């Protein structure tokens, strides 16, 4: 059985991707698993989020384990688009795996500048992180307003004709934003980002860590969101939320997802995506499932 798939302008050898922020820019991951090994089961790599200028991220504590997951507050730490292109992008492109660059910014204008920086490169596509606040709109999150997202997508689409996905927040104006993405020919929506959460940490004194919850704990929530969005829009859905097994991916497929991003599992086991892909393949073949016909 063939597991290659096309999503909009993107042709993938596998429906599995590595999710943004869970494998950096590959330096550590490639010490464990070679790009040639990854290429056998991964259709695309979604980079850590890149901003226009370098961002130092949040001070520690940044991560705390929770039952069936963890809360992270990395703070979008990254070297900025110039250093990314100079130090990381060439190495990533040499893997031969399609590269999708996750972008985040606090204004439509900066998103546009980021897209222009990537136009002359060989990246396969971009993924817009709309969980950021728009400072020019008083700090309102893009994900809280379909109108803001419409303005952003119209601007980006005028500059970018390759693969474009939007990573939705699981909270906010989710369904109307999905319809906006469909209306303005976004190739796919990624469902979804982490869930707002908080942990109280005891390090001799109590500290509050506010961040995003990820891992198996969020799978039932995101699974329902994928299912409900699939009923309302025809745009391809890339599921992202608590996938740690092949069965998890099958569940998402049955609920309408066309591809999958593996995230937290990479932090637990660098070989996770290989195991997940092989289990997914075995279940699909053993059960005689017809891919993406549900």
- Give residue-wise pLDDT tens across range 182-238: 999 999 999 999 999 999 999 899 999 999 999 999 999 999 999 999 999 999 999
Question: DSSP states of 5-49 as a string?
Answer: EEETTEEESSSEEEPTTSSTTSTTGGGTS-HHHHHTT-SEEEPPP
Please determine, for residue 292, whether its predicted confidence score (pLDDT) is greater than 90.
no
Q: Which residues of 254-292 are buried (b: 16+ CB within 10 A; e: fewer)?
A: ebbbbbbbbbbbbbeebebbbebbebbbebbeeeebeee
* Phi, then psi, of 201 in degrees rounded to 5: -105, 135
User: Quick one: pLDDT at residue 291?
Assistant: 79
CATH superfamily of 5-56+75-196+214-287: Aldolase class I (3.20.20.70)
The yes-or-no answer on residue 132 being catalytic is yes
Given the residues 41, 132, 181, 240, the one annotated as active site = 132
Taking 70 as the threshold, does the pLDDT of residue 293 lie above it? Answer: no
Render pLDDT for 112-141 as a digit per residue (tens, 0 to 9): 999 999 999 999 999 999 987 766 777 678
Structure tokens at 242: 């608590």
The model's pTM is 0.96
Average pLDDT over the chain reads 95
Which pairing describes strands 237-240 and 188-191: parallel, antiparallel, or unpaired?
A: parallel
């Amino acid at each position: 059985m063939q597991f290659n798939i096309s999503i909009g302008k993107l042709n993938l050898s596998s429906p599995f991707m590595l999710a943004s922020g869970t494998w950096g820019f590959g330096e550590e991951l490639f010490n464990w698993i070679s790009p040639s090994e990854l290429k056998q089961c991964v259709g695309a790599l979604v980079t850590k989020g890149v901003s226009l200028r370098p961002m130092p991220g949040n001070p520690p504590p940044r991560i705390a384990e929770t039952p069936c997951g963890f809360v992270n507050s990395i703070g979008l730490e990254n070297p900025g688009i110039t250093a990314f292109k100079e130090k990381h992008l060439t190495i990533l492109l040499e893997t031969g795996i399609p590269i999708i660059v996750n972008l985040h910014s606090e204004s439509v204008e900066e998103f546009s500048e980021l897209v222009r920086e990537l136009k002359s490169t060989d990246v396969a596509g971009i993924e817009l992180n709309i969980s950021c606040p728009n400072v020019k709109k008083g700090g309102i999150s893009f994900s809280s307003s379909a109108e803001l997202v419409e303005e952003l997508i119209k601007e980006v689409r005028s500059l970018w004709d390759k693969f474009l996905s939007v990573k939705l927040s699981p909270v906010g104006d989710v369904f109307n934003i999905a319809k906006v993405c469909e209306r303005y020919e976004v190739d796919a929506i990624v469902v979804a980002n982490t869930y707002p959460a908080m942990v109280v940490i005891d390090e001799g004194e109590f500290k509050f860590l506010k961040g995003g919850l990820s891992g198996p704990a969020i799978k039932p929530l995101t699974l329902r969101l994928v299912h409900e969005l699939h009923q309302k829009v025809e745009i391809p859905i890339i599921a992202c939320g608590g996938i740690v097994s092949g069965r998890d991916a099958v569940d998402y497929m049955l609920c309408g997802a066309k591809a999958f991003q593996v995230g937290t599992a990479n932090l637990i086991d660098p070989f996770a995506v290989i195991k997940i892909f092989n289990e997914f393949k075995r279940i699909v073949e053993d059960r005689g499932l017809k891919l993406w016909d549900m």
